[in-house]
């Protein structure tokens, strides 16, 4: 799982530019699933049939990462940029980035003033992204063009993968390449003999700019159950707003609610029951500050019973996200046992009789 996560996070694939991620996943899964296709939005849809007839589960993980896009090349060769997805302007300064150009990958640095200049500045000021620039080493527009840089080129954080301890790692784009890794491994490890029905994996696009890929996929596909795999922000660090309701290393998060979804109660209870029976570490998650692809699937057609498995992380949407590999494994194991024990849509409806 660690190697897979590292390889996935090395790919530049911000919102709207997920093709390289999709190619990697398609090549990886080609011999492990029954069908692979890409829809017109760019979602990668893979399916695996169980040995016997049974319910159909849709499991979504988004391929895009928060990133940027080249907006303008200044006369002196510095690049202006726009955001793709949600960023905190406070963490942008002096960060390394990677630009995907038609000529290949280029490295850049988001500029900042030297510390020696601080006495001439307001030290409390946070400059907005549209006041900032990326330095790629070019001294003119012409030099930037020779480097292959064009308006519209996608930009991501510069890839790295640091093993902080045996179980904890830091890197970029864990949101949501970690969910993609879980889905890939679950599809590889579950044989047709292990479950009944159909297991559909949906690697979605443009989640970070409004769940757009999931919306398109939810119009095409229907199933008995939908599960989203995504990262979620923990609350176990010392900042004053943290309430210690979700912690790194304490297992997969089972969603209760966020701003896009109040999880189906019976699915949530089923996940908790399976986690307890199989001794899989889990924790309940209530966090209104985020949304996931499950929000779109819950509203599709006549409503698909939906839930979320969340992978805890620190420093979300930054160049140095941190997660515990034990939480990643717990998420994968709980997904697998849920696929093996999933019910039909009717099993998750309100009982009014």
Dist. CA 247–CA 276, nearest whole Å: 18
User: Which residue, chain included where needed, has tokens 């819950």?
Assistant: 298
Dist. CA 88–CA 6, nearest whole Å: 24
Dist. CA 5–CA 212, nearest whole Å: 24
Q: Is 207 a catalytic residue?
A: yes
What kind and span of H or E run contains 142?
A: helix 141-146
User: Which three-class secondary structure state does DSSP give residue 71?
Assistant: strand
Dist. CA 332–CA 334, nearest whole Å: 6
Name which of 170, 194, 268, 269 is nearest 228 in CA terms.
Answer: 268
User: Which three-class secondary structure state does DSSP give residue 209?
Assistant: helix
Phi and psi, residue 190, nearest 5°: -85, 115
Q: Select which of 207, 208, 285, 296 is catalytic.
A: 207
Confirm if 234 and 312 have CB atoms less than 8 A apart.
Answer: yes
Q: Please tell me the number of Cα atoms within 13 Å of 139 on its side-chain side.
A: 0
Please identify every residue annotated as catalytic. Answer: 207
């Amino acid at each position: 799982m660690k190697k897979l996560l590292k390889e996935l996070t090395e790919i530049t694939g911000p919102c709207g530019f997920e093709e390289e991620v999709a190619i990697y996943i398609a090549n990886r899964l080609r011999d492990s699933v029954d069908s692979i296709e890409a829809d017109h939005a760019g979602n990668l849809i893979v399916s695996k049939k169980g040995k016997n007839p049974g319910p159909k589960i849709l499991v979504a993980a988004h391929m895009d990462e928060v990133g940027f896009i080249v907006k303008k090349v200044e006369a002196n060769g510095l690049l202006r940029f726009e955001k793709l997805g949600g960023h905190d302007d406070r963490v942008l300064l002096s960060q390394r980035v990677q630009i995907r150009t038609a000529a290949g990958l280029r490295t850049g640095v988001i500029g900042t003033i030297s510390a020696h200049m601080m006495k001439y500045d307001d030290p409390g000021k946070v400059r907005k992204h549209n006041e900032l620039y990326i330095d790629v080493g070019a001294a003119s527009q012409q030099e930037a063009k020779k480097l292959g840089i064009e308006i519209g080129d996608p930009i991501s954080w510069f890839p790295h993968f640091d093993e902080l301890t045996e179980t904890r790692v830091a890197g970029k784009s864990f949101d949501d390449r970690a969910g993609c890794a879980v889905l890939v491994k679950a599809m590889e490890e579950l044989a047709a003999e292990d479950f009944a029905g159909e297991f559909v994996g949906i690697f979605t696009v443009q989640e970070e700019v409004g769940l757009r890929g999931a919306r398109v996929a939810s119009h095409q596909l229907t199933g008995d159950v939908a599960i989203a795999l995504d990262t979620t922000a923990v609350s176990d660090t010392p900042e004053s707003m943290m309430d210690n309701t979700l912690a790194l290393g304490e297992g997969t998060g089972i969603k209760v609610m966020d701003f896009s979804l109040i999880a189906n109660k019976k699915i949530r209870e089923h996940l908790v029951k399976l986690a307890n029976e199989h001794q899989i570490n889990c924790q309940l998650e209530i966090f209104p500050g985020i949304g996931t692809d499950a929000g779109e699937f819950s509203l599709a057609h006549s409503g698909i019973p939906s839930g979320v498995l969340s992978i805890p992380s620190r420093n979300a949407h930054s160049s140095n996200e941190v997660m515990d590999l034990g939480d990643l494994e717990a998420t994968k194991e709980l997904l697998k046992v849920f696929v093996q024990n999933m019910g039909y849509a009717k099993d998750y409806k309100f009982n009014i009789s």
